[in-house]
Amino acid sequence: MLEENDTVNDLPSAVIETLKEYLKEDIRTGDLTSNVTVPDDAIGSATVYAKSKAVLAGVKELTAIAELTGLDYEVFAFEGNWVGPQEPIVGLRGLARTLLGVERVCLNIIQRMSGIATKTYRMVQAAREMNPNVRVAATRKTTPGFRYFEKRAVQVGGGDPHRYALDDMVLIKNNHIAVVGGAGDAVKAAREGVSFSKKISCEVRTLQEAIEAIEAGADIVLLDNFTAQDVGGVHEVLTQREMRHKVLLEASGGINEDNIKDYAQSGVDIISSGALTHSYDSADFNMLLSFT
């Protein structure tokens, strides 16, 4: 296994450490079954295959695991492309015990990431049928410890990752507004407290809050839990008041594959959906092994 400070392909070092932790979690002190049944010098080969149609994601992570554990690999299919049943994705070769030890972690990652990439691709394509310029973004509704991989899968599927963490940008939500006393006051406080280099987004629940946020200098107004029809109404009013050009308009809350087209034609610039990372079906892959 590589040392702590070694890097693998272009994944961040923190992500490599996370992959190491995933392996430790599953293997712990050793693969008991393989250790008592498989000779320690046996060499094997393995191929990861798709079992269902999916947009492929997670190949970088799988090959990183191969490098971390001393396996040779060959990539047969590339991220962002559709793959189908029985299509080979990656070939691996090395110690048989190592192949058996990494199998489940590799499959868990590629199945989940490909499931997210597939859902994202479908939602992006549906939205852009109505509005070619709209962005479809993820949210922070991610699995603890798996956020990087989920966000990267969204990008592979053609979506925008949005914030990775709370320090990426100012996003004033309804609870912030409740503490401060108003959308306008919250935006003003943020404008005074952060650098010009940070965008300020304000989540609003009403048209009046949207107007207050814009007048106070918000860069983005997030229409939270508005119907698509109401979003269109806000867009129309802001256009009439010559305020629409001052902000990016984002819609979020309850948006999914069934209604995303309605939101895409409502006049927004961004559609954010937690469904991308919490309501997807994992793609199906398997790993077939042979030993010499």
Angle at 15 between CA 48 and CA 111, to 5 degrees: 30
Q: Single out the catalytic residue among 51, 141, 246, 261.
A: 141
**pLDDT recorded at residue 291:** 82
Domains of the chain: 13-116+281-291 (3.90.1170.20), 123-278 (3.20.20.70)
Q: How far apart are CA 277 and CA 115, in angstroms?
A: 9
**pLDDT recorded at residue 7:** 45
**pLDDT recorded at residue 5:** 42
Per-block average pLDDT, block size 10, for the chain (292 residues)? 49 96 96 94 97 97 98 98 98 97 98 98 98 97 96 98 95 94 96 94 97 97 97 98 97 97 98 97 96 76
Q: Confirm whether 141 is a catalytic residue.
A: yes
- Could you tell me the pTM of the whole model? 0.93
Tokens of 115: 């499931």
Q: How far apart are CA 287 and CA 90, in angstroms?
A: 9
**pLDDT recorded at residue 2:** 38
- Give the closest residue to 80 by CA, choosing from 181, 159, 191, 190: 159
**pLDDT recorded at residue 1:** 38
**pLDDT recorded at residue 250:** 98
